[in-house]
């Protein structure tokens, strides 16, 4: 298994535990890592995803709720909700990760850990955010401009 895939699985488990228990991340992490030893780079990326997701949780949840038409966030499967959360964090706040990679990894995790139709559900919401969210489109445009300017030099 690739390291970032493994880290995303860990982040999902950490966020799931935080969502279910309501415990702060700093209380969850020591016990989680004791039970799930992984290489340092996997641990670092998983913690970056979990921390970034929880720091921006209110905005992330609003974005998901906006694009998940006819779905109440609290009524979503806990696994699906947390996959969506860290994936939206990746889309919006991690320009180093290609959006298609984020969406593909999220769909794979949903298929592996959730219900039969979860892959389609997660893909539909993330794809809609990727193709229509104004903040994400502005970020994509500015990245494209920067890349273009770097090639001209």
Q: Domains along the chain?
A: 3-152 (1.10.940.10)
* Of 44, 38, 39, 49, nearest in space to 14 by CA: 49
pLDDT tens string, the chain, 153 residues long: the values are 799 999 999 999 999 999 999 999 999 999 999 999 999 999 999 999 999 999 999 999 999 999 998 889 999 999 999 999 999 999 999 999 999 999 999 999 999 999 989 999 999 999 999 998 776 666 665 555 555 455 554
- Angle at 133 (CA atoms; ends 128, 139), nearest 5 degrees: 125
């Amino acid at each position: 298994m690739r390291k970032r895939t493994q880290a995303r699985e860990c982040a999902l488990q950490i966020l799931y535990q935080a969502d279910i228990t309501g415990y702060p991340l700093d209380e969850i992490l020591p016990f989680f890592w004791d039970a799930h030893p992984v290489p340092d780079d996997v641990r670092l990326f998983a913690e970056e995803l979990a921390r970034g997701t929880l720091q921006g949780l209110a905005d992330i949840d609003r974005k998901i709720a906006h694009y998940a038409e006819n779905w109440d966030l609290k009524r979503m499967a806990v696994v699906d909700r947390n996959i969506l959360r860290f994936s939206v964090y990746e889309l919006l706040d991690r320009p180093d990760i290609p959006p298609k990679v984020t969406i593909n990894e999220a769909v794979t995790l949903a298929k592996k850990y959730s219900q039969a139709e979860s892959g389609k559900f997660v893909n539909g919401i993330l794809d809609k955010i990727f193709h229509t969210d104004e903040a994400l489109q502005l970020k994509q445009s500015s990245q494209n401009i920067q890349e273009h300017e770097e090639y001209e030099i």
